[in-house]
Amino acid sequence: MSTNHKISIITLGCSKNLVDAECMTAILKNDGYEMVDDISQAEAVIINTCGFIESAKKEAIDTILDVARLKGPRKKLKYIVATGCLTQRYPDEIKKSLPEVDAVLGTSHYQDISEVIGKLFKKEAFGWKDYIGKPGSLAHMQRERTVATKAYAWLKIAEGCSNGCAFCAIPGIRGKYTSRPMEDILEEAKVLAASGYKEIILAAQDTTSYGKDLYGKKVLHELLNKLSKIKGIEAIRIMYAYIDGIDDTLIDEMAKNKKVLHYLDIPVQHGDDEILKKMRRKDTVASITRTLERLRKKIPDIVIRSTVMVGFPGEKKEHFENLLKNLKIWRFQCLGCFIYSPEENTLGYKMHPRVRSDVSQRRYEKVMELQQEISLSYNEARVGKTYKVTIDSTSQDGIFYLGRSYGEAPEVDPLIYVASTNRPLECGDTVSVKILECTPYDLTGVTEDESAE
C-alpha cells in the first residue's frame, strides 16, 4: 500500500543511531512510505539526533534549522520530526526554542515512527511528549540498510549503560545497560550475512559487559564464538570495549577465533589515577597497562584504538603530564581526543574547578601532536608490507579506491588509498594491497598484482 508520501531520514551521531535509523526506515517502507535520499524531494524529514556532548547538540540544532529552510505552506516539505538523544533529553526545550519541529520521539519510541508520521499527514492531534517516555527500550525490528557498501554492517548487542561515568549523560538518555538476547542477535546476524554483509561490527555503549544483566555473567566471548559459525560472516570487529571487561577468556577467544579481527576499540579516557577516579572510571593506570600488555603478548599484531578526554574538572598540569607520559607508554595505533563538555544531570556538571577553555584547547592540541608521531611510526612500519584490504568506496576524484584492513574500523579510523589500474574493483571486494606511502593518518598502496610490475 502506497501512501504517496515521500520521507527522508538524516542520521547524526554514532553507529548505534544509524541502526535505529535503519529500523525506522524499514517500518516506514513496510507501511507504504517512499524513502528518498534527497531531502528537497521529501514531504517529511526525520532528523535522528545525537545529544551526547555540546558539539553534537549544536550539530543537531543546526541541522534542524537548515532543513527548516525547505519547509513552508507552498513548499514540498511539510513536517520535521526530531528523534534520538537530543529529543529524549530536551523535549520541552525543543518545543519552546524550535517551533520548526512538528513532533518528537524519544529513544524508546522508534517503533512508533510510522504512527506519528501518519498522524501528521492526517492532521490528527496528539500530545507533544506522547512519544518520549522512559529510556531503555530494547525494541529491535527489521532493518533497511542505508549504507551503500555491503562490506560491513553494524550490529547492536545492547542498549543503554550502567557504568555511571561522571562526564556521561548516556544512562539518562538511553537507560540502564540492557543486553539483547543472544538468539535475537544471532538471528539478525544471519539475515545480514544472507544479504551479503561480510564484516559484522559489534556496537554497544560497553560491548564487554554483554550478557551480565541477562545471564549473570559477561559472555561476549560466547557470542563471538557463535557469530563466527554463521555462514557468510568473514570478520567480526569489536567496538566500545572497556578495560575491566577484557579478561583472559575474551583474549583467548580473540586469539584463536580466525574470524574475530585483531582489533579493539578501548576508550580509556585518561592516564592519571586521580582524574580516572573523579571520572568514576573503574580502571587505574596500572590495570590499563596490564591489560594492554596481556593483549599484545597474546595477540602480537593487535591494533588498539582509544579515546581520551582533556579538561575534566580538576585536571591540573601534573595530571595532564601523566596523561601524556602514559600515552607514550601505551602507544595506541589510533587515538581520538575530546575536550570535556559539562552536561546537565551528570556528576561532573557540578564539579569544580573548571579548566579554562583555552587551556583545554592547548592540551587537546598537545595530545594530538603526540599521537601524530605515534601513528606515523606505526604507519611507517607498515610501508612495504602487504595486507588484505576490503574496498568500501572510491575517492572523490575517482583516482583511488578507499578501503580498510583489519586495523581500520569504518568512520573512525584512517583510510587506505588503493590504486588498481589493471582491473576494476567493487565495493566489498577484498584484495591484497602493498603499502607504498604513508602519512600519520592515511596509507597508500597498490593491489598486489600491480606492485610486482
Q: How far is CA 449 from CA 255, 445, 446, in A?
A: 30, 12, 8
Is it true that domain 6-122 has CATH number 3.40.50.12160? yes
Spatial contact of 102 and 80, defined as CB atoms under 8 Å apart: yes
Cβ neighbours around 422 below 10 Å, total: 10
Q: Give pTM, 2 decimals.
A: 0.85
The predicted structure's pLDDT at residue 22: 87
For residues 418 and 403, the answer to whether their CB atoms sit within 8 Å is yes
> In a 3-state reduction of DSSP, which class is residue 438?
strand
Phi/psi zone of residue 269: left (φ > 0), alpha (ψ -120 to 50 degrees), beta?
Answer: left
Gap between the Cα atoms of 320 and 370, Å rounded: 13
- List the grid coordinates of 116: 506519528
Question: CB of 79 within 8 A of CB of 102?
Answer: yes
Instruction: Report d(CA 53, CA 189) in Å as an integer.
Output: 31
User: CB count, 10 Å around CB of 397?
Assistant: 6
The amino acid that residue 21 corresponds to is: A
- Cβ 106 vs Cβ 48: under 8 Å: no
Non-local CB neighbours of 236 within 8 Å, separated by 6+ positions:
199, 200, 201, 202, 224, 227, 228, 257, 259, 260, 261
The domain ranges of the chain are 6-122, 152-381, 383-451
Q: Which amino acid is at 288?
A: I
C-alpha cell at 425: 574493483
Within 8 A by CB and 6+ apart from 78, the residues are 43, 44, 71, 120, 121
Contacts of 91 (CB under 8 A, 6+ apart): 104, 106, 128, 129, 132
Rounded Cα–Cα distance for residues 251 and 298 (Å):
7
| Lookup: cell for 64 | 534542524
Q: Write down the architecture of domain 383-451 according to CATH.
A: Beta Barrel (2.40)
pLDDT tens per residue, the chain (453 residues)? 556 899 999 988 777 778 888 889 989 999 999 999 999 999 999 999 987 677 778 889 999 999 999 998 889 999 999 998 889 888 899 999 999 999 999 888 888 999 999 999 999 999 888 888 776 665 555 666 656 567 889 999 998 899 999 999 888 888 899 999 999 999 999 999 998 889 999 999 999 999 999 999 999 999 999 999 999 999 999 999 999 999 999 999 999 999 999 999 999 999 999 999 999 999 999 999 999 999 999 999 999 999 999 999 999 999 999 999 999 999 999 999 999 999 888 999 999 999 999 999 999 999 999 999 999 999 999 999 999 999 988 888 888 999 999 999 998 898 999 999 788 998 888 999 999 999 998 999 999 865 444
What's the confidence (pLDDT) of residue 453?
43
Which residue's C-alpha cell is 515512527? Answer: 113
Question: Which residue do the cell numbers 527500550 mark?
Answer: 137
Architecture per CATH, domain 152-381, reads as: Alpha-Beta Horseshoe (3.80)
Q: Which three cell numbers stand for residue 120?
A: 501528521
